[in-house]
Chains A and B, each alone.
Chain A
Amino acid sequence: MIPAAVVFLYLAAVLAIGLAARRAAARRPDAEDFFLAGRSLGPAVFLLSLFGANMTAFSILGASGHAFANGIVTYGLMASSSALVIPLTLFVIGTRLWALGKRHGFMTPVQMFRDRWECGHIGTAIFAVQAVLLVPYIVIAVIGGGTTLRAVSGGLVPFWLGGAVVSAVVMGYVLFGGMRGTAWVNAFQTVLFLSFGATAVAVIAAGMGGFRQAIESMLASPATAPLLTRERVSPLYFFSYTFIPLSSIAFPHIGIFCLTARRLEHFRRTVVLYPICMIAIWLPSVFLGVIANRAQEVPAIQAKVEARATLATQGASLTPERRDVLRTAAAGDDVILALVQGYAPLWLTALLGAAVMAAVMASDSQILALSTMFTEDVVAFYLGAARARDALLVQIGRLFVAGVTAVAYAIALVVPQSIFDIATQYAFAGYSALAPLLVAALFWKGSTRWGALAATVWTAAAVMAIAVLQSVVPAPPPGAAVSVLQIGGVDVVTRAAAGTLVLGFLPVVPMTIGSALLMVIVSRSTPGARPGAATLARYF
């Protein structure tokens, strides 16, 4: 129970940070103070909180779980591609968003889109798609919280209670502290996790008698040797993952975070240090996930290895229901925690549990972003400036935070998919497909609101199509693929164990390219809808 007690202490600490942020805020905070911390974040908090906002349950639990099942490829798929694309988009797009926000008072990307393309309801359509895509991202944090608390308490805290506690704490400090509280907590959480990554590697290495022997024995076994290469992954699949980090800058919470820096200079350090933070968190997570396959002394991990082996050897002859049961048993979302519990001393297990909880709780910025968007893009827009008083908007924002957290918790209780599946197949791919909107708004004078609407509708339709397809066609056993659509003897759409593939690519590739093409084609077809000279002069 000591690890669980330390985690609960940690939860109390972040709640206290939220309350301290409330005291630091204006006595009666206006909307800009509550939703954007008054655009006043300094360089260190800006870097750490922006990075923390990008790190979710998916980054830590999902990454080690994915590495446990798929091997070292996880780092190349998600970490090194993000280390390039995310800072590059912050440099090129984030800096411009900051400048426009500061000059024109924008608090959300949709406010900028409405102004840039001189539109109203199309902005609402973009808001709706952004909001729907953000909810799965919030849900994975609740699932991560429940999984972590259950694991660190040895099963004493059930999943439903763990998820409820994490949801309540996140809701508390977002509600009280607004963006300032969220940023401070994110910065604290990032420091905590950065500090413990290397410690975990060192302690587990000592516990396992060094990694050299474990790696050699993995190489000697035909079942585990492929985990140390990328032979099980096709180059097209690997390439597809370079499109996923485009989602980062298109996520409303990251776009909104770009508006919180006090000065443009604060982006400098963020852009340079972002890849360093990536390596510090992801390399230990991925390596420990891989090495867990040799953790023969940990019964919880051995049970997962056996379930995976049964799936691999008997998968084709099993019923879809039995395969689902085995998939759940083999899921590696809590493998890093099991590893730490198996090899680290109790006090370190407790601290590492708190560190993992830190990464898991990064849903705060998404919840606040959703609240900001609803308040500014819907309530303030439709009420009009005269009726949308600041105090009213802050109260509505707080109510919305409470409501959306409760809904995310309810969804987490009934959604059985793994963290990684939900994140990549819905939210990430959808936001990557929305990235062309930002590029067109900021860099192409010829873009129009109809092009933006076409790209948005395409994104929504594509995400729904994947969701329907994956619910209608059950996942085949690992290694197998079911052809869903063939044209001229070529498999165009296939259903694999890992998800849906289009011509061998993940759906994110055709979704993003299709979105960009639609933006170009429809904008060129509607030259009459181009904004007036005065509007364009504000942007170019």
Chain B
Amino acid sequence: MAAALMAAALYALHQDFWFWREARPLVFGFMPIGLFYHAAYTLAVSALMGMLVRRHWPAHLESASGE
């Protein structure tokens, strides 16, 4: 349940209306904040996936496959 809620929260965070009309601040002096946010968001997704595969791995499917 917690994992589903975290995935849902990340899905909601994709709709970042707070940086909609702003280019500044320019991260590293050249990257608009809206682009930087979504790059950081992508890294956060990877962290969520790491948590999912560690704590909720469907190991039963390996035996169900007949292996």
B53 within 8 A of partner (CB):
yes
Q: Check B34–A83 contact: CB distance below 8 A.
A: no
| A417 CB, nearest partner CB in chain B, Å | 27
Asked whether A76 and B14 contact (CB < 8 A) given A225-B23, A231-B20, A274-B49, the answer is: yes
A440 within 8 A of partner (CB):
no
**From residue 11 to 57 of chain B, which have CB atoms closer than 8 A to chain A?**
11, 14-17, 19-24, 26, 29-32, 34-35, 38-39, 41-43, 45-46, 49-50, 52-53, 57
Q: Check B65–A229 contact: CB distance below 8 A.
A: no
Complex-state Cα separation, A400 to B24, whole angstroms: 53
Asked whether A84 and B32 contact (CB < 8 A) given A76-B38, A103-B64, A229-B20, the answer is: no
Complex-state Cα separation, A283 to B43, whole angstroms: 12
Complex-state Cα separation, A210 to B30, whole angstroms: 9
Q: Check A72–B45 contact: CB distance below 8 A.
A: no
Set of chain B residues within 8 Å of A283, measured between Cβ atoms: 35, 39
Contact of B53 among A99, A219, A235, A268 (CB under 8 A): A268
Q: Check B62–A84 contact: CB distance below 8 A.
A: no
Q: Check A75–B20 contact: CB distance below 8 A.
A: no
A96 within 8 A of partner (CB):
yes
Asked whether A275 and B35 contact (CB < 8 A) given A81-B14, A215-B26, the answer is: no
A211 within 8 A of partner (CB):
yes
Q: Check A84–B64 contact: CB distance below 8 A.
A: no
Total A-B residue contacts, Cβ distance less than 8 Å: 126
Complex-state Cα separation, A230 to B32, whole angstroms: 11
Contact of A96 among B23, B31, B61 (CB under 8 A): B61
Interface residues on A, range: 35 or more
Q: Check A230–B45 contact: CB distance below 8 A.
A: no
Q: Check B66–A84 contact: CB distance below 8 A.
A: no
Q: Check A212–B29 contact: CB distance below 8 A.
A: yes
A287 within 8 A of partner (CB):
yes
Number of chain B residues close to chain A: CB under 8 A: 40
Q: Which of A87-95, A123-131, A431-439 contacts B (4 or more CB under 8 A)?
A: A87-95
Complex-state Cα separation, A79 to B32, whole angstroms: 16
Contact of A215 among B30, B58, B64 (CB under 8 A): B30
Q: Which residue of A lies closest to B56 (CB)?
A: A91
A228 within 8 A of partner (CB):
yes
Set of chain A residues within 8 Å of B17, measured between Cβ atoms: 235
Q: Which residue of B lies closest to A230 (CB)?
A: B20
Complex-state Cα separation, A212 to B27, whole angstroms: 10
Asked whether A212 and B65 contact (CB < 8 A) given A80-B38, A229-B21, the answer is: no
Set of chain B residues within 8 Å of A276, measured between Cβ atoms: 42-43, 46
| A53 CB, nearest partner CB in chain B, Å | 19
Complex-state Cα separation, A230 to B34, whole angstroms: 8
| B62 CB, nearest partner CB in chain A, Å | 5
Set of chain B residues within 8 Å of A271, measured between Cβ atoms: 49, 52-53
Q: Check A286–B35 contact: CB distance below 8 A.
A: yes
| B42 CB, nearest partner CB in chain A, Å | 4
Set of chain B residues within 8 Å of A268, measured between Cβ atoms: 53, 57
| A42 CB, nearest partner CB in chain B, Å | 16
Q: Check A228–B32 contact: CB distance below 8 A.
A: yes
| A303 CB, nearest partner CB in chain B, Å | 26
Set of chain B residues within 8 Å of A235, measured between Cβ atoms: 15, 17, 20
Set of chain A residues within 8 Å of B42, measured between Cβ atoms: 79-80, 83, 275-276, 278-279
A264 within 8 A of partner (CB):
yes
Q: Check B52–A264 contact: CB distance below 8 A.
A: no
Asked whether A102 and B66 contact (CB < 8 A) given A84-B45, A287-B35, the answer is: yes
A399 within 8 A of partner (CB):
no
Q: Check A272–B32 contact: CB distance below 8 A.
A: no
Set of chain A residues within 8 Å of B38, measured between Cβ atoms: 75-76, 79-80
A381 within 8 A of partner (CB):
no
Set of chain A residues within 8 Å of B35, measured between Cβ atoms: 72, 75, 283, 286-287
Q: Check A272–B50 contact: CB distance below 8 A.
A: yes
Q: Check A102–B49 contact: CB distance below 8 A.
A: no
Set of chain B residues within 8 Å of A95, measured between Cβ atoms: 58, 61
- Not counting A242-B14, A287-B35, a sample of 4 additional A-B residue pairs whose C-beta atoms are within 8 angstroms of each other reads A80-B38, A81-B14, A231-B20, A279-B39
Nearest first, the 10 A-B pairs at minimum CB distance are A102-B65, A228-B23, A99-B61, A211-B30, A275-B46, A80-B38, A99-B65, A72-B35, A228-B32, A275-B45
A-B contact pairs, 8 of them (CB 8 A): A79-B38, A215-B32, A219-B24, A229-B21, A235-B20, A267-B53, A275-B49, A279-B42
